[in-house]
Amino acid sequence: MISLTIHIDTPEKQWKGSFKKMSEKIERAAGAAFVVARRPAAFSSRNFSLNIVLTDDKSIKTLNHDYRGQNKATNVLSFPQFDIRKFDVGSLAYHPSPTPVPLGDVVLAWETVKKECKAQKKDLENHTIHLVVHGTLHLLGYDHMKNKEAKSMESLECDILKSLGYPDPYK
pLDDT per residue of the chain (171 residues) written in tens, 0 to 9: 568 899 999 999 999 989 999 999 999 999 999 988 866 655 667 788 999 999 999 999 999 999 999 999 999 999 998 877 776 666 667 777 778 889 999 999 999 999 999 999 999 999 999 999 999 999 998 988 888 888 999 999 999 999 999 999 998
Answer for the pair 132, 52: CB distance below 8 angstroms, yes or no.
Answer: yes
Would you say 64 and 71 are in contact if contact means Cβ atoms under 8 Å apart? Answer: yes
Q: Find, among 17, 93, 110, 116, the residue nearest to 57 by Cα.
A: 110
Cα-based distances in Å from 18 to 12, 25, 34, 82, 114:
11, 12, 24, 31, 10
DSSP class of 140: T
At position 77, the amino acid (one-letter code) is: L
CA 166 from centroid of its chain's CA atoms: 16
Q: Helices (DSSP H) in 37-146: which residue ranges? A: 57-68, 110-120, 124-139
φ, ψ for residue 151, nearest 5 deg: -65, -40
